Every structure is written in C-alpha cells, then in structure tokens.
Amino acid sequence: MTFYNFVWAWTTIAIIVFLILIYFKIKAPYGRHTSNKWGPVIDNKWGWFWMELPAFLLMPLLALLGPEPKTDLTYLLVFLWSYHYFFRTFVFPFRLKTKNKKMPLVIVGSAVFFNGINGFVNGYFIGFISHFSNEVLSPNVIAGLIIFCSGMIINRHADKKLISLREKDQGYFIPKGGIFNYISCPNHFGEIVEWAGFAIVAWSVPALSFFIWTFCNLVPRALNHHQWYQSYFDDYPKNRKAVIPFVW
C-alpha cells in the first residue's frame, strides 16, 4: 500500500467513526462523561499528557530528520505544529482545576494511537515526500496562517474560560460571554478552525486528513457536551448551537 493510499484509507476510517458516533450517540468516557465501566483509569492530567505526547514528538522529528530539503515552509509547519502540541502536552493538562478526575486507559491508548498516526503521516510527508518550495508568502500560506491563529485564539480563550469556572471546584456553571453566547463548545470549534488553517498552509493530503479527523472527532464530542448542558441546566440558552455558530 502506498503512502497516499494509507492516508486516504485512514481518512475514510475517520468518516466511518464520525457516522458511528453520530448515529449511536456514543459518549467518550472522559471529562464530564467519565465512566468507570471502561476498565482501569489514570489521573486525568497525566492522561492528557500521554495522549498528546506522540504528536508533539513524531511530526517534528520526522519532518526535520527526513531527507527532503528543509525550506521556510518546512520550518513554519513544524513551528505551528510544535507550538500547538507543546501547549497541549506540557501546559494545558496541568492547568486543569479538576481534583481526583480519572480517565480510562482505553481512551488514553486510543488517543496515543490516533495522535501517533496523524503525527507520523504529517511528519513523514514533510520530511520524506513534500518537495516544498521556499515560498511562504503565497496566498494559501497567508490565508491559512490567519485562520490557524484565529482558531488558536478562540481555542485558548475558551479553555481559559472553562478552567476559570472550575477554580473553586463548586460544580458546573453555564459559560457565558464572547463566542460562548453562540455555541456550547468554542474550544472544539477553535481547534477545528486551527487545523483547517494548518491544512491550507500545508496544502497536502496528510494535513487535510488531519483536519477531517479533527472535525470527525470533535463535532460528536461537542454535540454530547451540548446535550449534557441542556439536560443539566434548566435555564440553558435555547438559541445556543453546539459547535458551529448559527449552524450546528
């Protein structure tokens, strides 16, 4: 099987998983949906750390150690990826205000596999196949950077807001203000936008595949959160969507 066949097959799996999660309304058992029915568990913060670590390591290593000539675009993509995953691996998990929260090891293992594959295909493409030019002022790179940075700002702001609501460990509250007035999960929306921007900058099949996987993973998650909010709070805003403003 060629590299591209593998990536397209991997992308097809994302779409199948998306349809299964939507149709059967499956809730991944971590965060507010934590369940002890999924086997052994690990501390929530360390679970997040190990989940994100493979992506942080694999993509930059393959991209920089591969034989393809290194261009400005190579370094830009590695920087964007590393900047995101450094925060997700070493900063975000240890800012969480949850106490004694656990995460099933099966979820950690699934995420390690998922992030490992996505880190591998993107790093391998850049380091071994890409043939990038040294042009970083092309329209797709500029547009993609704007989209990526916008998504990151939305994601970081939403995460900060959600963490601040748990500082006193007094249960759950309805997040309000900014984009929270329009959707329940701007953190997921921001990450989807982020990787759409990355895909536009890279203009590659692996980056597109990762964007599709991100969408297929986070949209069902956001729908579950939205339904949880609606059932938990009697006064939850009726016009608020789940993940895409005014749409979904």
Does residue 17 lie within any of the structural domains? no
Does residue 13 lie within any of the structural domains? no
Short-list 152, 140, 146, 244, CA closest to 190: 152
Pair (126, 149) in one structural domain: no
Pair (145, 224) in one structural domain: yes
Exposed e or buried b per residue across 166-177, where buried means at least 16 C-beta atoms within 10 angstroms of its C-beta: beeeeeeeebee
Show which of 71, 101, 133 is a domain's final residue: 133
pLDDT level of residue 33 (50, 70, 90 thresholds): low
How many angstroms separate the CA atoms of 180 and 188, rounded? 12
Does residue 9 lie within any of the structural domains? no
Q: Quickly tell me which residue has 């990536």 as its tokens.
A: 7
Does residue 217 lie within any of the structural domains? yes
Give the pair of three-digit tokens for residue 219.
Answer: 């949209």
Pair (159, 69) in one structural domain: no
Show which of 106, 133, 160 is a domain's final residue: 133
Pair (73, 92) in one structural domain: yes
Does residue 149 lie within any of the structural domains? yes
Pair (155, 243) in one structural domain: yes
Pair (169, 67) in one structural domain: no
How many angstroms separate the CA atoms of 179 and 242, rounded? 11
Write the burial class of residue 126 (CB in 10 Å: 0-12 exposed, 13-18 middle, 19+ buried). buried
Q: Over the stretch 68-124, which tens digit does the pLDDT of each residue have?
A: 999 999 999 999 999 999 999 999 999 987 777 888 999 999 999 999 999 999 999
Write out the residue range of the structural domain in which residue 192 sits.
137-248
Pair (151, 125) in one structural domain: no
pLDDT for the residue numbered 194: 98
Show which of 133, 155, 183 is a domain's final residue: 133
Q: Over the stretch 226-245, which tens digit does the pLDDT of each residue have?
A: 999 999 999 999 999 999 99
pLDDT of 15 strictly over 80: yes
Pair (103, 174) in one structural domain: no
Rounded to the nearest 10°, the torsion over CA 164, 170, 171, 175 is -30
Pair (46, 122) in one structural domain: yes
Does residue 75 lie within any of the structural domains? yes
Pair (219, 239) in one structural domain: yes
Does residue 12 lie within any of the structural domains? no
The domain total for the chain is 2
Considering the chain, what percentage of its residues have pLDDT values greater than 70? Answer: 94
To which H or E segment does residue 123 belong? helix 105-124
Q: Over the stretch 175-197, which tens digit does the pLDDT of each residue have?
A: 999 999 999 999 999 999 999 99
Pair (227, 143) in one structural domain: yes
Arithmetic mean of pLDDT, 23-35? 69
Pair (128, 160) in one structural domain: no
